[in-house]
């Protein structure tokens, strides 16, 4: 009995190591390529919201239960929540740009936009929009990991915004719990422009394990078989 328990323990240990040695976070900057590799994801494009002609900010967080000036319950897709960090009470404005369609932007120019997931997500993509035309450099922090370690920083990535344009960044490969989007430190008297997000993709997609993961997984099963043979 003890050997059986020990065998199961080592098998589970190998499974844990195999998961930890997985493919890792894959970054994609081409939206078409990302959508081709990660089909079937949920899309939040904020088109169900109502643009306020006075550009009055709506309070966060924004999710499927939100009821405010711009969004009503059901307007935001289920499984995702948007908020602003250091917003001074005025989190979001809804922008309507003829080129990039409707999106949300931070109402002050400095706050960070946070995106959290209440469902399992291992693929995420977003258009970052430069409403101010300044060409800011954005930082995208991706958090996730194994259960109970959702505050684990998986990586920080720079995205250079084209003045009055949009830039895409997408991630896949490991479980993602939240994303924080903020502006890179700036200086020289440059005033940061307004930025926003649109066309948020999120969900799960099949991830093929690396050879190292398959090797560790196979080693765990072989160990279990050997232990069972010794018992006989």
CA-based nearest residue to 96, from 154, 48, 156, 43: 48
This prediction has a pTM of 0.74
What span, in angstroms and rounded, lies between the C-alpha atoms of 26 and 50?
Answer: 34
Domain locations in the chain as residue ranges: 1-22+209-232, 24-207
Per the DSSP assignment, residues forming a β-bridge with 130 are 195
pLDDT per residue as tens, the chain (232 positions): 545 544 444 444 444 443 443 448 999 999 999 999 999 999 999 888 887 665 566 777 889 999 887 889 999 999 999 988 765 555 677 776 655 577 887 755 567 889 999 999 999 999 998 776 667 788 999 999 654 445 689 999 999 887 667 899 999 999 999 999 988 765 544 555 678 899 999 999 875 444 444 444 455 555 555 556 565 5
Residue 211's pLDDT is 42
pLDDT tens, position by position, 119-146: 999 999 999 987 766 677 889 999 996 5
R_g of the chain computed on alpha carbons: 22
Q: How far apart are the first and last CA of the chain?
A: 12
Backbone angles phi, psi at 16, to 5 degrees: -65, -45
Question: CA angle, corner 129, sides to 180 and 127, nearest 5?
Answer: 65
Residue 50's pLDDT is 81
CA-based nearest residue to 141, from 85, 97, 79, 58: 85
CATH of 24-207, one of 2.60.120.260, 3.40.50.2020, 3.40.50.720, 1.10.1740.10: 2.60.120.260
pLDDT tens, position by position, 80-94: 999 887 655 556 777
Residue 214's pLDDT is 44
């Amino acid at each position: 009995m003890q050997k059986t328990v020990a065998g199961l323990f080592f098998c589970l240990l190998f499974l844990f190591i195999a998961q930890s040695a997985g493919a890792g976070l894959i970054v994609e900057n081409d939206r078409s390529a990302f959508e081709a590799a990660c089909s079937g994801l949920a899309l939040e494009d904020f088109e169900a919201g109502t643009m306020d002609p006075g550009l009055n900010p709506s309070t966060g967080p924004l999710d499927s239960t939100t009821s405010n000036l711009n969004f009503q319950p059901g307007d935001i897709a289920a499984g995702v929540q948007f908020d602003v960090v250091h917003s001074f009470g005025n989190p979001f404005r809804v922008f309507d740009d003829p080129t990039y369609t409707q999106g949300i932007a931070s109402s002050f120019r400095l706050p960070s936009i946070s995106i959290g997931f209440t469902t399992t997500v291992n693929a995420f993509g977003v258009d970052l929009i430069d409403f101010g035309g300044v060409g800011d450099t954005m930082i995208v922090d991706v958090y996730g990991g194994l259960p109970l370690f959702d505050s684990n920083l998986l990586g920080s990535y720079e995205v250079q915004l084209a003045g009055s344009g949009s830039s895409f960044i997408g991630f896949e490969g490991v479980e993602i719990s939240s994303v924080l989007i903020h502006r890179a430190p700036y200086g020289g008297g440059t005033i940061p422009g307004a930025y926003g997000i649109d066309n948020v993709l999120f969900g799960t997609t099949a991830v093929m394990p690396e050879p190292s993961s398959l090797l560790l997984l196979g080693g765990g099963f072989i160990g279990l078989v050997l232990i069972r043979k010794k018992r006989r």
